[in-house]
Amino acid sequence: GAGVSQSPSNKVTEKGKDVELRCDPISGHTALYWYRQSLGQGLEFLIYFQGNSAPDKSGLPSDRFSAERTGGSVSTLTIQRTQQEDSAVYLCASSPFLGYEQYFGPGTRLTVT
Amino acid sequence: SQQGEEDPQALSIQEGENATMNCSYKTSINNLQWYRQNSGRGLVHLILIRSNEREKHSGRLRVTLDTSKKSSSLLITASRAADTASYFCATDALRGGGSEKLVFGKGMKLTVNP
């Protein structure tokens, strides 16, 4: 079946602009996660959604970051007023339930100039 | 904050040799997972071991878990050039009797030379 997809695969934006990153999880997966990975670094947790529960936003680095998950499926990560330090690969993953193995998308490489 | 820490941070071996990577963590866990990442993109799940398991096998992979030492090891036997990648351990911290989000280590770069 189809895996996790993310769009766009690459995004170059100017400092101060807003960007939206999209994630389509595997159908039926109740948990969805966003991570950020800077060059050569590990994964930095941003936010996760589990079913209809309130999302865990504890990893969002500032109030410029927000995410939503509509209808328990597609998720959008929004970064407002982008800064150069926001440049990274943003990875989305889904899993059948929280705590199970996660299936990752290919990521969106964001470059803020 | 990082929960898992992989050791060594980088490992270079010859094709056919075995590769062992270690992971240490700090808090009680539900499960521990290992992932592989090629080319800085999406991660691929390799194996999950639960807190009540001590050893698990999957093909050329062998994972052990020692909850008393809060450590795990990933052994790749008969390595191939295609095993060249970064490997991450991730822990699902046990909180309030339920699962929590996965926390990933910084990763370990394995290079298998042909």
Of B45, B101, B103, the CB nearest to A101: B45
Per-residue confidence (pLDDT) for residue B40, from 0 to 100: 62
Asked if the Cβ–Cβ distance from B106 to A45 is below 8 Å, we say no
- Count of pairs with CB atoms under 8 A, one residue in A, one in B: 58
Contacts of B93 (CB under 8 A, 6+ apart): B3, B27, B28, B29, B30, B100, B101, B103
Rounded CA gap, B80 and B39, in Å?
17
Query: Which pLDDT score, from 0 to 100, does residue B2 have?
Result: 46
pLDDT tens series, chain B, 114 aa: 446 678 778 999 999 999 999 999 988 888 999 999 987 677 999 999 999 999 999 999 999 999 999 999 999 999 999 999 999 999 987 655 445 678 888 899 999 999
Sequential pLDDT tens for chain A (113 residues): 589 999 999 999 999 999 999 999 999 999 999 999 988 778 889 999 988 888 888 889 999 999 999 887 999 999 999 999 999 999 999 999 877 889 999 999 999 99
From chain B, pick out residues whose CB is under 8 angstroms from the CB of A41: 106-107
Closest residue of chain A to B109, computed from CA coordinates: A40
Q: Compare all CA atoms of chain B with the CA of A37 and give the residue at the minimum distance.
A: B40
Q: Across chain A, how many H-helices and E-strands are there?
A: 0, 10
**CA atoms of B5 and A12, how far apart (whole Å):** 32
Give the containing element (helix H, strand E) for A5: strand A5-7
CB contact under 8 A, B99 and A99: yes
